[in-house]
Amino acid sequence: MERITISLDEALAQEFDALIERRGYRNRSEAVRDLLREHLEAARQQESAAGRGGHCVANLSYVYNHHERDLAERLTELQHGHHDLTVATMHAHLDHDNCLESVILKGPTGAVRAFADALVAERGVRHGQLNVVSVEVANSAHDHGYRPRGAQARAPHLHLKPKD
């Protein structure tokens, strides 16, 4: 780990310490690391939005009225149509009318954003929010350990490592 030193005026340092206390950080270093990661991720997302590519993992959460005509079927069809991006979906009933869904996505950032925009734009979907984390993509042919007797080695697959 590399050590750096920064200087802050007293008012800024006090405000930062108050933020650290409110958020429950143990020390300034942890808080600074999180702020830097947040800022660097925002910069990566701007580059991605500008068409510079990249891959991501993401969570799309939205609320919808399940009484809306054919909406549940349309949402399911959209997810099936993008099965290459959709990893998993969690569904929760909020009340007699409304449901919350959370969809875990992975893939090229532009494709993930386009899918999320299309889903949230469906009539009857409300409160859609996409949380995107940029990742590095690496092919892997290593063995993950346990393999039942007689089973073949696993094929190469992708590992998605969040960028720091």
Please write the tens of the pLDDT for every residue from 44-77. 766 665 555 688 999 999 999 989 889 999 999 9
CATH of range 53-140; options 3.40.50.2000, 3.10.129.10, 2.130.10.30, 3.30.70.1150: 3.30.70.1150
pLDDT at 146: 64
Average confidence (pLDDT) over 28-48: 79
pLDDT at 51: 56
Evaluated on CA atoms 145, 148, 153, 155, the torsion sign reads negative
Q: Which residues contact 87 (CB under 8 A, 6 or more apart)?
A: 104, 105, 106
CA 3/CA 164 separation, integer angstroms: 16
Rounded to the nearest 5°, which phi and psi values hold at 49? -65, -25
Helix (H) or strand (E) holding 20: helix 10-23
Better-predicted residue by pLDDT, 64 or 34: 64
pLDDT at 140: 63
